Amino acid sequence: MSKERIKAPELAAGLEWFNTFEPVSMERQRGKVVLLDFWTYSCLSSMHTQPDLRYLEDKYSDKLLVIGIHSPKFPNERISENVQKAINREHIRHPVVSDPSFKTWKQYGIRVWPTLIFIDPDGFVIGALSGEGRRGQLEKLIGQFLRKASLSYNMPAESVRLESKPEVKSYLHFPGKIVASEHNLYISDSGHNRIVVTNHYGRVSRVYGNNSPGLLDGFTESAAFNHPHGMVKVKDYLYVADTGNHAIRRISLISGEVQTIAGTGQQGRIEDKPYADPLAVSLNSPWDLAYDGTCLYIAMAGQNQVWRLHLTSNMLECFVGSGQKGLTDGSAKKSALAQPSGLALGGNALFVAEAETSAIRIIRLPDGKTNTLVGEGLFEFGDQDGSGKEVRLQHPMDVAYSPSDKIIYIADTFNHKIKIMYIQSRTVSSLECKGLNEPSGIAVQGNSLWIANTNEHSIGRLDLASGLYGKLEINEPILEF
């Protein structure tokens, strides 16, 4: 923390505000601690900061004001409607200002997401904290400054009038991923903290978990999840990447029992070594799963790695990735990934949708050697079909492999598109599929491509033979008494 005392300026006029009736005046917040949270919703570290901010907001109530400064990395994040969706998806309650031209970012000399600017009750900038995992430091600092302020401020600071714009109510809420079997669809209803099972016509047959986030084992709706995402079906079990709980769960599709098989419920930075007891390991935002007949592969998005769990021996280990964020090909432990978010098994390889580098990677299963199919780096993105190095994606979140055609489908999430890649030529082209809004999950079954149309709170089906796309109508079962 810097000792230099600089008065926090008013935020630039003309910026768009969310969650509040009017722009917030910094001058009128005297007596409060103010945190400016510089974030972008594509950045997982920014998302990891949100639970810490909620904790601090609950603890210090009207003595703390958090203002989110949304400074977008990707073009898609500059659009107001998408920022509002992200605010709702992440349950952000404090005022947020959109800073697409980086005025405030430059004013404060910010370099990375997330960065928190600490402003004391007298309105002076005390310093900046970059990166996630700052709850303890912030809690201590806020307590210290509020104790001093209580001796100087008798009148309460002006309260900020909050205003939310909730999503339209629907059966699904920001569905994240989908798995398709011959007869059923398994949907991670991420915003409702549950897994929904339907047939191909949308009739709901079972629900695991309920609307309340939590980490509870149990049967069907008595269990609890926290923003689950990727899944994989293995015989009569469904394995779930319970992202918000930093855990792997297993659902018995016969009995309906939900069990935790890896993770403590707390986020951790995992050391690269084998673990004999996966339940004692704090995982880091597992986002998707794949299974090769022996191992469960885990896209450990928060650690920029792919891990694997040997289901027979119950041993958990890092499979690919140095842990450094980047786009580096090579051997298993020297390669670098960046927020792996989607996995698909194809033959002797694992395909990876990598959100932060807007890339598709291929990992050789016998030895973990990693190569890039398309993608050029952390700040190379766009919407460009073509071959190899000329292809540009924007924050892809999932891939699906079609063994009959030896092609992969890509959920090009921030371009609101589904794309197809011919693996041998690395040629990518867009499919005609209108009405998509940040699709984050896809699954191939026969001639159907099932799509988790995340920001539209729906599931769609693309007929691969005719090219027709339609929304799946979800029908809850009728209870008979």
Alpha carbon of 265 to those of 31, 67, 271, 287, 356: distances in Å? 36, 28, 17, 14, 25
Pair 113, 229 in one domain: no
pLDDT of residue 148: 85
pLDDT of residue 153: 62
CA 191 – CA 325 distance, rounded (Å) = 27
- Whether residue 154 lies inside any domain: the answer is no
- Going by the DSSP 8-state scheme, the letter that residue 10 receives in this structure is P
- Whether residue 337 lies inside any domain: the answer is yes
CATH number at residue 144: 3.40.30.10
Pair 439, 386 in one domain: yes
pLDDT of residue 479: 54
Q: Are 359 and 389 in contact (CB under 8 A)?
A: no
Helix, strand, coil proportions of the chain in percent (round to 5)? 15, 40, 45
In a structure prediction context, what are the per-residue pLDDT tens digits for the chain, which is 481 residues long?
A: 556 689 999 999 999 999 999 999 999 999 999 999 999 999 999 999 999 999 999 999 889 999 999 999 999 999 999 999 999 999 999 999 999 999 999 999 999 999 999 999 999 999 999 999 999 999 999 999 998 887 666 556 678 989 999 999 999 999 999 999 999 999 999 999 999 999 999 999 999 999 999 999 999 999 999 999 999 999 999 999 999 999 999 999 999 999 999 999 999 999 999 999 999 999 999 999 999 999 999 999 999 999 999 999 999 999 999 999 999 999 999 999 999 999 999 989 999 999 999 999 999 999 999 999 999 999 999 999 999 999 999 999 999 999 988 899 999 999 999 999 999 999 999 999 999 999 999 999 999 999 999 999 999 999 999 999 999 999 986 555 4
- Whole-model pTM? 0.96
Beta strands 33-39; 64-70: pairing state: parallel
CA 97 – CA 23 distance, rounded (Å) = 8
Q: Are 347 and 332 in contact (CB under 8 A)?
A: no
Q: Are 225 and 208 in contact (CB under 8 A)?
A: yes
Beta partners for 407?
402, 422
- Whether residue 136 lies inside any domain: the answer is yes
Pair 206, 142 in one domain: no
- Whether residue 213 lies inside any domain: the answer is yes
pLDDT of residue 151: 61
Pair 236, 128 in one domain: no
Pair 126, 223 in one domain: no
Q: Are 43 and 113 in contact (CB under 8 A)?
A: yes
Beta partners for 344?
351
Pair 94, 183 in one domain: no
pLDDT of residue 476: 81
Pair 143, 243 in one domain: no
- Whether residue 112 lies inside any domain: the answer is yes
**How many residues does the structure list for the chain?**
481
Pair 230, 312 in one domain: yes
Boundary residue ending a domain (130, 149, 168): 149
pLDDT of residue 481: 42
CA 454 – CA 424 distance, rounded (Å) = 30
If we measure between CA atoms, which residue out of 149, 142, 69 comes closest to residue 109? Answer: 69
Pair 111, 241 in one domain: no
Q: Are 38 and 117 in contact (CB under 8 A)?
A: yes
CA 151 – CA 138 distance, rounded (Å) = 21
CB contact set of 235 (below 8 Å; sequence gap of 6+):
none
Pair 257, 388 in one domain: yes
Pair 335, 229 in one domain: yes
- Whether residue 166 lies inside any domain: the answer is no
Domain count, the chain: 2
Q: Domain range spanning residue 32? A: 6-149
Beta partners for 22?
none
Reduced to 3 states (helix: H, G, I; strand: E, B; else coil), residue 45 is helix
Alpha carbon of 156 to those of 25, 151, 152: distances in Å? 15, 12, 11
- Going by the DSSP 8-state scheme, the letter that residue 69 receives in this structure is E
Amino acid at 290: A
- Going by the DSSP 8-state scheme, the letter that residue 390 receives in this structure is G
- Whether residue 1 lies inside any domain: the answer is no
Pair 385, 256 in one domain: yes
- Whether residue 202 lies inside any domain: the answer is yes
CATH number at residue 273: 2.120.10.30
Alpha carbon of 147 to those of 63, 141, 150, 332: distances in Å? 11, 10, 5, 51
| 3-state per-residue secondary structure call for 321-382 | CCCCECCECECCCCCEECCEEEEEEECCEEEEEECCCCEEEEEECCCCCEEEEECCCCCCCC
Q: Which phi and psi (to 5°) does residue 84 adopt?
A: -60, -40
